[in-house]
Structure 1
Amino acid sequence: MNIRALITCFILGLSQVALAQKPNIIVIMADDLGYSDIGCYGSEIKTPNLDALARNGVKFTQFYNAARCCPSRASLLTGVYPHQAGMGKMVVTSDITNRDAETPNQGWLSRNTVTIAEVLKQAGYQTYMSGKWHVGEQRPDWPMQRGFDKYFGLISGANSYYRLLPRRLMLEDNQPYTIPDNFYMTDAISAKAVEYLDEARNNPFFMYVAYTAPHWPLHAPDEEIAPYKGKYMKGWDHLRQERFQKQQKMGLLPVTQKLSDRDATISAWENAPDKEDWDQKMAAYAAMVTRMDKGIGQIVAKLKANGQLENTLIMFLSDNGACSEELVNRAQRDLGDPAYEISLKTPSGAKGSYDAYGKEWANLGNVPFRQYKSFTHEGGISTPLIVHYPKMVKKAFQTDQVGHIMDIMPTCLELAGATYPKEYNDRSIKPVEGKSLLPIIRGTTRKNHDYIAWEHFDSRAVRKDQWKLVWSRENKKWELYDLLKDRSEMKDLSSTHTGKVKELSQIYQNWSDRVGVNGN
């Protein structure tokens, strides 16, 4: 072998070593998990694995999603606002006739965006996804068409945890997946993620684990529900106080922060009928969260066994606040007869049931905040965020620096040394809107976004510094809050701070025009 060939082999060897030393990245997303629904954010629900990640990582107290499943997932994957990613509203399940006429509310990921997987794949990463997609139902919009090497999971939205419902689509890679006997969705998502880790030995990897838990329907194994039975007979009023007190002891909230009032449409627990049924519902919900946590523990255990944990960034968050939706009509439509009739006689959580836990327990899930999933009050858009990265975070800490779900894309790219492209597949790419979280994770102060804003089905908000202007689609008026003093949004200051309302409403208007809020 001549000198030139030796030098070439040496350089190639060095590049392979450098590539192997790049950090691995895992993003784990829960579905409809409330701000206070895990132990390290105040919950009585057992989540020892997430709590351990928080004890050895960074816990964010003021991190935001995009209010609902589809917008949040689009923003996470692309690093831009949901409307810029084509997902201002919800995914479109019908066939798409004109892919060139893109709009902010089209219902599939814009071709003028790139996903984290697409960029990291070009940077030498293996890319995997296990779980719920929900940002494109047609084949051109599936995960493997948007940068993932391997995919397993639910392309569609909500589904039974035990079987595939009509009009739902599950895939393994690009092929329809047939659900086997003894299937449970959460366990399957965890198992496939663990399997992928064994494949990812020689190159750095990016893995997106998107659980369907604890989204309705309430489904959990009996052995997981049993330890929680009877624990919720305390009722939502007592448990809201308990969670709030835990949060204060943890320093999650300023000492001056107050717990929001119980939703005025919810009765006091002492007046609630069917208390045992309510206990069963919340026990099933808690079991779903615990089962998900066990799966996350399996992922962490595999990283340890493979010697990869030290060099792996793990981020955990939720796609929106706790969910107040009811399934009275939805269940019949999804199940059809006679399965619907069976569901009415089946206890919540059991196979054959099709139930939600209602705003009564969602009001607990979002402690200390107001409102729920799909609203832009704090209860709809606040999420836990846990970041675990032993190579960078040597001492655990909690931060109140403000972040948004669109910040995850630039965080991943900066850590991987990848460049966000101006063009991809011969299409111009919209500039990234997110800002890397790495300065925060390193323990320094990051320059804030000038502002962050939201809109989803006419729920609107804009936050600049500690000030937040929010519009509920129910009340149809602007409310103003000083989140430094009142993050529970209890005292509306719009009538006494008219100048601030004018300033923020103009920022919102400029933003909504820029991202196309009113586009088709």
Structure 2
Amino acid sequence: MIARRLCNYFALFLAGLCAILALPVAATDAAPRPNILYIVADDLGYNDVGFRGSDINTPSIDKLANEGVRLDQFYAQPMCTPTRAALMTGRYPLRYGLQTLVIPSGMSYGLSTEERLLPQALKEAGYRTVMVGKWHLGHADKKYWPKQRGFDYFYGAVLGEIDYFTHSAHGVRDWYRNNEPVNEQGYVTRLLGRDAVARIMEHDPHVPLFMYLAFTAPHTPFQAPPEDIEKNNHIADPTRRTYAAMISILDEEIGKVVAALEQKGMRENTLVVFMSDNGGTTLAALAGEADVSKLKLPADNAPYRGGKGMLYEGGTRVTALANWPGHIKPGVVDEVVHVVDMFPTLAGLAGADTDTGKPLDGVDAWPVISQGKPSSRSEVVYNVEPFRAAIRQGDWKLVWRTPLPSALELYNIAQDPQESTNLSATEPDKIITLKARAEQLAGESAKALFLVETQAAVMGMVKDMPPVLPNDEAYFTQGD
């Protein structure tokens, strides 16, 4: 059994790596301390929201975008765990070993407890910190869980992928409130929205609130109630129709949460941020632990190349917006913002300390977000791993595949955001500069924990895999 699971994880890594490598080479304004509602969608395609012209209806998200600011050059990491870690720490995942793939359900590592997280900083500044949704930053030891990392309250799942109806992964329920297992009925997205509303309605409005609302939708498995799928019958492809239903339910729940803020009298002083954790899935090998190999994958990252797990724009440039009535100038901002920037940005608005802890990679992006001022960010680190890297400085982006035969791609993103023309042969000086920066970051990087644990398991250094979740065995046996 153990050998089979080790083989499965090693196969997962190899499949993902092969899929990647087989790709063709080609100053803060004064403002009152806001409540912060930070919403993350999971594997949402860049073009899969209504305000970008999608065939998927998202009126609640559209309203936030149209009355706030669309962030058209907002960058995340290419996969889930790295992006969530970057958001929580304000530091690139390469600093602490979470740069490669995600944390599979049978592995024991997590986001280092030596890292100071955003909820810790905000809690120290007097905020009530609430997390509703998906964690995926460590599950095998409770020291990695949200309640131990600065959140006053947690409700949701600690793993990366669960069944939307049974709340289970591999037959084991992954559904918690404040570290205790919860056995309840309901569709995951609606349960998360309902709980977020409840937390807002019980909140003391005299205390600033930070709510991290991390939906699992529309990550695999592609599941939705039949009546919601039927509402999207204008979409012919059955998988995309289900995917659309998942996004529509996500949108409905966001609308309910915003309405709760209004009912509570908190909306006018609440900053709402919405983003996807990476681009939509376009390769079955990178979709997650569910088998989608026989499906036509539904995500649309147009107009950008690639998707989840890739270093191209389609995997890393994500749909994002910010909305705070009276404090954000509505419109479109095409300045560069990276997810690591959100730690210093939110901490700055909250009056939280950013000097404690390790040096941040993020910069305060509030002038960019609120007024569309030029970004102070001159570089984007898409990722640096043992087998690949991508760095952008100014308009120039290097994509470097390092296993032999190695390959270099160079794009001028301002002129060619679709990454259709590889200029590596005509710009040797740019190649030298960007490769040197990638090498520098590689030298500063911690070892990728996924590779460390996989190697240890394969070499027989791990005698047994850890329990999927460290809880009562009788609870596990409940299964579905």
Which of 207, 217, 220 aligns to 2:224? It is 220
Match of 1:91 in 2: 103
Distance 2:90 2:288 in 1: 32
Alpha-carbon contact 1:86-1:108 (below 8 Å) kept: no
- Range 87-96 or range 131-140, more displaced: 87-96
Which of 203, 206, 209 aligns to 1:205? It is 209
Match of 2:21 in 1: none
Which of 188, 191, 202 aligns to 1:188? It is 191
Structure 1 residue 455 corresponds to structure 2 residue 381: no
Distance 2:286 2:125 in 1: 48
Alpha-carbon contact 2:379-2:394 (below 8 Å) kept: yes
Alpha-carbon contact 1:376-1:472 (below 8 Å) kept: no
Structure 1 residue 139 corresponds to structure 2 residue 142: yes
Q: How many residues align?
A: 413
Match of 1:8 in 2: none
Which of 398, 404, 416 aligns to 2:350? It is 416
Match of 1:400 in 2: 334
What SS does the aligned partner of 1:191 have? helix
Structure 1 residue 173 corresponds to structure 2 residue 131: no
Match of 1:113 in 2: 115
CA displacement at 1:86 relative to structure 2: 3.5
What SS does the aligned partner of 1:491 have? coil
> Any stretches of 5+ residues in structure 1 without a counterpart?
1-20, 97-106, 234-278, 335-353, 423-428
Structure 1 residue 502 corresponds to structure 2 residue 445: no
CA displacement at 1:44 relative to structure 2: 1.5
Could you say if the C-alpha distance between residues 320 and 473 of structure 1 is closer, same or farther in structure 2, counting changes exceeding 3 Å?
Answer: farther
> Any stretches of 5+ residues in structure 2 without a counterpart?
1-31, 453-480
Match of 2:42 in 1: 31
Distance 1:328 1:455 in 2: 18
Could you say if the C-alpha distance between residues 77 and 359 of structure 1 is closer, same or farther in structure 2, counting changes exceeding 3 Å?
Answer: farther
Could you say if the C-alpha distance between residues 388 and 473 of structure 1 is closer, same or farther in structure 2, counting changes exceeding 3 Å?
Answer: farther
What SS does the aligned partner of 1:232 have? coil
Which of 298, 304, 316 aligns to 1:361? It is 298
Distance 1:291 1:485 in 2: 37
Could you say if the C-alpha distance between residues 482 and 491 of structure 1 is closer, same or farther in structure 2, counting changes exceeding 3 Å?
Answer: same
Distance 1:449 1:515 in 2: 21
Q: What one-letter code is carried by the residue in structure 1 that aligns with 2:143?
A: P
Alpha-carbon contact 2:133-2:157 (below 8 Å) kept: yes
CA displacement at 1:88 relative to structure 2: 1.6
Distance 2:419 2:351 in 1: 40
Distance 2:441 2:135 in 1: 27
Structure 1 residue 434 corresponds to structure 2 residue 446: no
CA displacement at 1:507 relative to structure 2: 1.1
CA displacement at 1:168 relative to structure 2: 5.3
Structure 1 residue 388 corresponds to structure 2 residue 399: no
CA displacement at 1:232 relative to structure 2: 3.4
Could you say if the C-alpha distance between residues 330 and 438 of structure 1 is closer, same or farther in structure 2, counting changes exceeding 3 Å?
Answer: closer
Q: What one-letter code is carried by the residue in structure 2 that aligns with 1:206?
A: F
Match of 1:480 in 2: 410
Could you say if the C-alpha distance between residues 377 and 496 of structure 1 is closer, same or farther in structure 2, counting changes exceeding 3 Å?
Answer: same
Alpha-carbon contact 1:75-1:406 (below 8 Å) kept: yes
Distance 2:431 2:402 in 1: 18
CA displacement at 1:325 relative to structure 2: 4.1
Structure 1 residue 516 corresponds to structure 2 residue 446: yes
Distance 2:286 2:349 in 1: 46
Could you say if the C-alpha distance between residues 149 and 355 of structure 1 is closer, same or farther in structure 2, counting changes exceeding 3 Å?
Answer: same
Match of 2:27 in 1: none
TM-score, scaled to structure 1:
0.75
Distance 1:456 1:321 in 2: 19
What is the Cα-based RMSD across aligned positions, in Å? 2.4
Which of 302, 310, 325 aligns to 2:260? It is 302
Alpha-carbon contact 1:216-1:356 (below 8 Å) kept: no
Distance 1:69 1:227 in 2: 29
Structure 1 residue 60 corresponds to structure 2 residue 71: yes
Distance 2:196 2:384 in 1: 33
Q: What one-letter code is carried by the residue in structure 1 that aligns with 2:64?
A: L
Could you say if the C-alpha distance between residues 328 and 510 of structure 1 is closer, same or farther in structure 2, counting changes exceeding 3 Å?
Answer: closer
Could you say if the C-alpha distance between residues 155 and 390 of structure 1 is closer, same or farther in structure 2, counting changes exceeding 3 Å?
Answer: same
Match of 1:318 in 2: 276
Cα deviation, 1:447-491, whole Å, max 9, x if unaligned, reads 432322113573420011111001357984110000111000000
Between the two proteins, what is the percent identity of the paired residues? 35
Alpha-carbon contact 2:34-2:271 (below 8 Å) kept: yes
Alpha-carbon contact 1:31-1:212 (below 8 Å) kept: yes
Match of 1:152 in 2: 155
Alpha-carbon contact 2:69-2:322 (below 8 Å) kept: yes
Mapping of residues 314-353 of structure 1, within 5 Å: 314-326=272-284
Which of 276, 281, 284 aligns to 2:242? It is 284
CA displacement at 1:391 relative to structure 2: 3.3
Alpha-carbon contact 2:220-2:287 (below 8 Å) kept: no
Distance 1:208 1:280 in 2: 32
Distance 1:466 1:82 in 2: 23
TM-score, scaled to structure 2:
0.81
Q: What one-letter code is carried by the residue in structure 1 that aligns with 2:218?
A: P
Match of 1:43 in 2: 54
Distance 1:389 1:323 in 2: 30
Alpha-carbon contact 2:281-2:287 (below 8 Å) kept: no
Could you say if the C-alpha distance between residues 356 and 389 of structure 1 is closer, same or farther in structure 2, counting changes exceeding 3 Å?
Answer: farther
Which of 395, 399, 419 aligns to 1:466? It is 395
Cα deviation, 1:385-425, whole Å, max 9, x if unaligned, reads 110011312x4110110011111111110110111142xxx
